[in-house]
Structure 1
């Protein structure tokens, strides 16, 4: 279970227990910070916290804000400036030379638009969604802090924002964020002032299909589950005991290589690991995966084995192009010297994560660019109608 899923479950349990709940969201950062925009933490009035917005330095302070400043139920934004010398005096000493802005809001089950329910739907239905949240206001503008616009995959819009100029620009920018699948911070100028908005892409869990159900596949499944990925295990030996070995899997498919293509769904978001330890099974699986739109295809075993697969497929008349081969990783995994099932599993999951984020898996100390994705503000000028 990943952090977001844990927060959603925490909200449900807090509603059943009658606790008052708050959500803290990092909406903007500058410079070096531990978490980036979109990081969330659920806080209850009893002091229970789920998720993190820092390395553990800001969480208690955010809790104090929920106790002392939010009796009216109105959202607030707290800015932590770690570039100032006062950072040490206040006791944070984060070690990150940056600025963090945190939106804190009280959660209500019946609120409209309901970002919690929308996020839960994105995860349950496995589709992308966009949440645009106002977190800074300057001037006499008829917009409230914490106002939102939600964009569904079918283009449906739900919003409590009344400013029509802002709505139209938000819809356009939300559609861009949906197409790019990336979050960003935008600054909008209106006739009577300006607002800043965090446009957040809510990503569904990464679907991982593991072909193979040996004991070395178990740690791969466990690490994927820890990341909150949507896991499917395919056992080509159709062994009923497999279901007991993988209780954490979202789905266990007992199959054989002749019909496997009818039982497994692969789309543009799917990442796959082939580790059946059976040459003919792996060959048939690759015959299915190479022409598919799978984002990542990893094959366990030495390079010569993968090359033999490709040659055998060619002899069978299977046509594959350079673009398809770019998605094929064999041998599979990052080069970390792993030689145990657990170590190999770490190498596999690390490589998939690197592919998903378009990174090369090198040492961070050798990286000359910022570690995290940039959320630079985009200036939009809105003219009166």
Structure 2
């Protein structure tokens, strides 16, 4: 696999796109997809072959390869496909599937490069560092791999790590893909207004766990927000102060009322969350900034505020406004420029050239 950019001083190589999975069962057929269509037929053939000979195989497809062109990989880039036949109990895979179904954070570390006898072996790792399965013969290998996988899991990242067969951290023959499965990121929408209803729907579409919070019980009701995961009746700043957030959390302030906005934004802009946006006109924003400075927020904190919230799409309706906000959230998450692609010549996907590691299971028991 070509080098994947890593943060300075890090021994982890991050896979910018989450690993994708497909499964082939001899009786039930194909479930899932690994490339959105480019190499599906070729992967199917690999799976059939793996089921017949019982061997794990790693196959690369690249734009310059004749085989890749033949199977339709015309969009460029590199795809590595790991096909693992599953014919026995595979307790580590069962544990991973069960944890994912329960929404529990867990990681699966799999050997994607190394000796043939280890290729495809897997280790299921929990948040407390305990694990199930095994990667090799050396007793230190599983312990080291579990510790490294837990570090990636704590950060909610999928990536690769380099280890030696004896479990030392010196790169020496093994590459592990660590797939972290974590609960969905949170979107907290403050202000139970019509715009919030549209934003809840878009947030759910993007895969967020969406909470609506408003201090007014007459507006914060299940009837008004049937698609929200949680509806909270509380003062926004008080709820934010005591609820769980992380570096993936996005906060959308739609209350448009200073008595709610000021204490809420004072809390929000000092928290290590991914995004803080606030609805309002430019005049409202200027007054909001003045008030926030008066209560002591620093300029670096104020620069985190996305206000007026959203990208300039020219829309007016709640649905159009929700789309504008969601577009800004996606751009902020991936480092997008928000410039029309027809006016740019850079890569469409902001992954710094990092390839995706795509994994196909040979069969489900």
- Scaled by the length of structure 2, what TM-score is found? 0.75
Cα distance per residue 1:111-148 (max 9 Å; x no partner): 2323x533653685564x44321123346xxx432212
Match of 2:75 among 61, 85, 96: 96
Q: Contact 1:29–1:37 at 8 Å: present in 2 too?
A: no
Q: 1:351 matched to which residue of 2?
A: 328
Q: CA deviation at 1:273?
A: 0.3
SS at match of 1:41: strand
Q: Is 1:342 aligned to 2:350, yes or no? A: no
Cα distance per residue 1:156-202 (max 9 Å; x no partner): 343412333644653464355346544333455559x9333223333
- Scaled by the length of structure 1, what TM-score is found? 0.72
Q: Contact 2:250–2:274 at 8 Å: present in 1 too?
A: yes
Q: Is 1:184 aligned to 2:159, yes or no? A: yes
Work out the CA distance in 2 between the residues paired with 1:170 and 1:275.
44
Q: How does 1:1-385 map to 2 (within 5 A)?
A: 36=17, 38-46=19-27, 49-71=30-52, 74-88=55-69, 90=70, 92-106=71-85, 111-114=90-93, 117-118=95-96, 121=99, 124=102, 127=105, 129-138=106-115, 143-164=117-138, 166-167=141-142, 170-171=145-146, 173-174=148-149, 177-178=152-153, 181-188=156-163, 190=165, 194-239=173-218, 242-256=221-235, 260=239, 264-315=243-294, 318-364=295-341, 366=344, 368=346, 371-375=350-354
Cα distance per residue 1:60-91 (max 9 Å; x no partner): 44334434531466544343344223444x3x
CA RMSD in angstroms, aligned pairs only: 3.7
SS at match of 1:150: strand
Residue segments in structure 1 that go unaligned for 5+ positions in a row: 1-27, 378-385
Cα distance per residue 1:261-314 (max 9 Å; x no partner): 577444443211011243433334324323434332110112331231233344
Q: CA deviation at 1:207?
A: 0.6
Q: Contact 2:202–2:323 at 8 Å: present in 1 too?
A: yes
Work out the CA distance in 2 between the residues paired with 1:293 and 1:233.
20
SS at match of 1:310: helix
Q: Contact 1:209–1:232 at 8 Å: present in 2 too?
A: yes
Q: CA deviation at 1:345?
A: 1.5
Q: Contact 1:119–1:202 at 8 Å: present in 2 too?
A: no
The alignment covers a number of residue pairs equal to 337
Flag the structure with more relative contact order, 1 or 2, with Cα contacts below 8 A and sequence separation at least 6.
Answer: 2
Residue segments in structure 2 that go unaligned for 5+ positions in a row: 5-15, 167-171, 357-365
Q: Contact 2:220–2:232 at 8 Å: present in 1 too?
A: no
Q: CA deviation at 1:349?
A: 1.4
